[in-house]
Structure 1
Amino acid sequence: MIDSLYPREVDFAALDEIRKAALNGLPDDLADFLEGGAGTETTLRANRSAFERRVIRPRPMSGVSAPRTDTTFLGIPLSLPVLTAPFGGDGLFHKDGHLAVARANEAFGTVSIVPEAGTYSFEQVAEAAPKAARIAQLHPFEHFEQGARRIREAGYAALCVTVDCPTAGFRVRNRVNRFDPDMSRFAGNTAGEDTPDVAEMFSRLVAHGAPAWDWTRLAEATAECGLPWIAKGVLTAETAERAIEAGASAVVVSNHGGRQLDPAPASLDALPEVAAAVAGRVPIALDSGVRTGADVFLALALGADVVVLGRLAIYGLAVDGEAGVRRTLELLAEELRTLMILAGVGSLADFRASLVGAR
Structure 2
Amino acid sequence: MNREVALPEGGLGELREADAGARAAPIPPMRTLGEVEQAGLRGLDPVIAAFLQGGSGSEVTLARNQRAFDQIRFVPRTMSGLAYPSAATSLFGRSLSIPVLTAPFGADGYFHPDGHVAIGRANARFGTCSIVPEAGTHSVEQVAAAAPSSALIGQLHPMGSEVNFLSMVRRYEATGYRALCLTVDCPTPGWREHNLRHAFNIDNRVVGGNYPPGAEIDMERALGQLHAQTEPVWSWGKLAELMTATSLPWVAKGILTPEDALAATTAGAAGVVVSNHGGRQLDGVSSAVEALPSIVSALAGGSVVLLDSGIRRGSDVVKAIALGADAVLVGRLSAYGIAAGGEEGAYRVLDLLRQEIETTLVLLGRGDITDLGRDAVTFGKGWDGS
TM-score band w.r.t. shorter chain: over 0.9
Aligned length: 351
Is the contact made by 1:122 and 1:136 (CA closer than 8 Å) also made in structure 2? yes
> Secondary structure at the residue paired with 1:252?
strand
Query: Which of these residues, 212, 215, 226, is aligned with residue 191 of structure 1?
Result: 212
Is the contact made by 1:79 and 1:108 (CA closer than 8 Å) also made in structure 2? yes
Residue 39 of structure 1 corresponds to 57
Residue 5 of structure 2 corresponds to none
RMSD: 1.4
Q: Distance in 2 between matches of 1:284 and 1:53?
A: 21
Letter in 1 for 2:327: V
> Secondary structure at the residue paired with 1:231?
strand
Residue 254 of structure 2 corresponds to 233
Letter in 2 for 1:72: S
Tell me if 1:88 matches 2:136. Answer: no
Tell me if 1:177 matches 2:198. Answer: yes
Residue 270 of structure 2 corresponds to 249
Tell me the alpha carbon deviations over residues 232-275 of structure 1, each in whole angstroms, 9 at most, x when there is no partner: 01111000000000000121000000011111110000000100
Tell me if 1:100 matches 2:118. Answer: yes
> Secondary structure at the residue paired with 1:307?
strand
Residue 3 of structure 1 corresponds to none
Query: Which of these residues, 34, 46, 58, is aligned with residue 16 of structure 1?
Result: 34
Letter in 2 for 1:140: P
Name which of structure 1's ranges 172-181 and 240-249 shifts more when overlaid on structure 2.
172-181
Residue 314 of structure 1 corresponds to 335
Tell me if 1:135 matches 2:153. Answer: yes
> Secondary structure at the residue paired with 1:164?
coil
Q: Which consecutive residues of structure 1, in runs of 5 or more, have no partner in the other structure?
A: 1-8
Shift of 1:192: 7.1
Residue 341 of structure 1 corresponds to 362
Residue 172 of structure 2 corresponds to 151
Residue 5 of structure 1 corresponds to none
Q: Distance in 1 between matches of 2:217 and 2:335?
A: 26
Is the contact made by 2:318 and 2:369 (CA closer than 8 Å) also made in structure 1? no
Is the contact made by 1:302 and 1:352 (CA closer than 8 Å) also made in structure 2? yes
Q: Which consecutive residues of structure 2, in runs of 5 or more, have no partner in the other structure?
A: 1-26, 381-386
TM-score (norm. length: structure 2): 0.88
Is the contact made by 2:36 and 2:336 (CA closer than 8 Å) also made in structure 1? yes
Tell me if 1:163 matches 2:184. Answer: yes
Shift of 1:208: 4.0
Shift of 1:15: 0.5
Shift of 1:158: 0.5
Q: Distance in 2 between matches of 1:177 and 1:111?
A: 34
Q: Distance in 2 between matches of 1:199 and 1:17?
A: 38
Residue 25 of structure 1 corresponds to 43
TM-score (norm. length: structure 1): 0.95
Shift of 1:64: 2.5
Q: Distance in 2 between matches of 1:197 and 1:295?
A: 39
> Secondary structure at the residue paired with 1:130?
coil
Shift of 1:193: 6.3
Q: Distance in 2 between matches of 1:52 and 1:200?
A: 42
Name which of structure 1's ranges 215-224 and 56-65 shifts more when overlaid on structure 2.
56-65
Residue 84 of structure 2 corresponds to 66
Is the contact made by 1:96 and 1:321 (CA closer than 8 Å) also made in structure 2? yes
Is the contact made by 2:87 and 2:370 (CA closer than 8 Å) also made in structure 1? no
Shift of 1:196: 3.7
Residue 326 of structure 2 corresponds to 305
Residue 285 of structure 1 corresponds to 306
Is the contact made by 1:189 and 1:195 (CA closer than 8 Å) also made in structure 2? no
Q: Distance in 1 between matches of 2:304 and 2:119?
A: 23
Q: Distance in 2 between matches of 1:192 and 1:176?
A: 30
